[in-house]
Amino acid sequence: MKKEYFGTDGIRGKVGEYPITPDFMLKLGWAAGCVFAREKPGQRVLIGKDTRISGYMFESALEAGFSAAGVDTQLLGPMPTPAVAYLTRTFRAQAGVVISASHNPYYDNGIKFFGPDGMKLPDEVELEIEDHLRRPMTTVECSRIGKATRIRDAAGRYIEFCKSTIPLGINFSGMRIVVDCAHGSTYHVAPDVFSELRATVSTIGAAPDGLNINDRVGATDPENLRRTVLKEKADLGIALDGDGDRLMMVDHEGQVVDGDELLFVIANARSASGELAGSVVGTLMSNLGLEQAIRRLGLEFRRAAVGDRYVMEMMLEHGSILGGESSGHIICRDRTTTGDGIVSALQILAEIVRSGKTLHELKQGMRKYPQRLVNVRLEERVSLDSAPLVQKVKAEVESELGDSGRVLLRPSGTEPLIRVMVEGADEGKVHELADRLAGAVARAFSA
């Protein structure tokens, strides 16, 4: 069956537009609660959120829905997505819920679910929830209505977990870093993690007001971080996104280091220490230079569909412990169960300490191919198969690139966008060909 509401990363959209409305969230909490409580009554779920103003509204609606289904809720307040995944496991909860639209602006919001293993729900469970959404909402007998409590020490528990993902003998004494929290859910967590490991920390993007999440800050816009690193002569900068599952970094020269380069640094370190064998998983968007660098390490490089859930599925299928996306989702499966910006950054910093090299030096083992990504926004979601003009221009672009490049056309899983990616050895040609193909997409689906 085809899913109606769940996309590649939960349910997401603009606040106030169906299904991102209070009434739908009430029904969603009830539907999910019915599914979670089916096997064993008396279940509980954790609910975390990022710093969007609409999070208060949806938190209350979900709590009421779960209560009506007879499920207890434990509220975490603002908490990074990976923290919810971790705490779901440690509290032995039936599920974890995150109210977040990740890197999107404040006027968007969404819902993600984690299972008791701290991993995204499988498709069949999401389909069960959608099936219940089509049924009339009911309430359990009054004595079985779910209760709500608040977990007061959630941030401290997660901070200690993050620190435990690097060797006990490593600290960052003498290291000057700038941490950009994107005015998101890591604002009260990330600075403490790095300062408790003895780094000298400057913080930006750590004053959320409900409306400024991801606004010219964070992993999707690291320019402010880049300027701050250079101004303060810091050793590096760390950029997280609104819900803390993405990571970008800036080296001491002010160069942005993306998810592909960070994945290579971690893979190189793991390989040298004997912790990594077999394969590393990227996506269809991963830079060709990453693939070549991983193969030079004697490892196989596999490409999953775009989306961290698909990266994880391929990692599990092939027994991989390391995978990630160019956007900064990096999964260290020997440390955690989902993409975690703080944990990923800690692995990089630990390798800087161990090797005595700078981040700028560590990334040199990978040569990035020029890559241009153009997002073509449309009125509605479309099928590329229905556009012969697009297929014709795509074939022409691929012919011009030959064996030295790649072309990818991909509909967004959460928005009415077509993502056009062209990659090759010549930067000027890459930009020209990407713009030509994006123009063909826009013309093919214009009104």
Catalytically active residues, by annotation: 102
Neighbours of 174 (CB within 10 A): 10
CB-CB contact of 225 with 237 (8 Å): yes
Neighbours of 295 (CB within 10 A): 12
Alpha carbons 17 and 108: distance in angstroms, whole number: 10
Distances (CA, A) of 285 to 90, 132, 154, 260, 367: 33, 35, 35, 10, 16
Beta bridge partners of 403: none
CB-CB contact of 180 with 242 (8 Å): no
Q: Locate tokens 């809720």: which residue?
A: 73
Give the 3-state secondary structure of 372-435: EEEEEECCCCCCHHHCHHHHHHHHHHHHHHHHHEEEEEEECCCCCEEEEEEEECCHHHHHHHHH
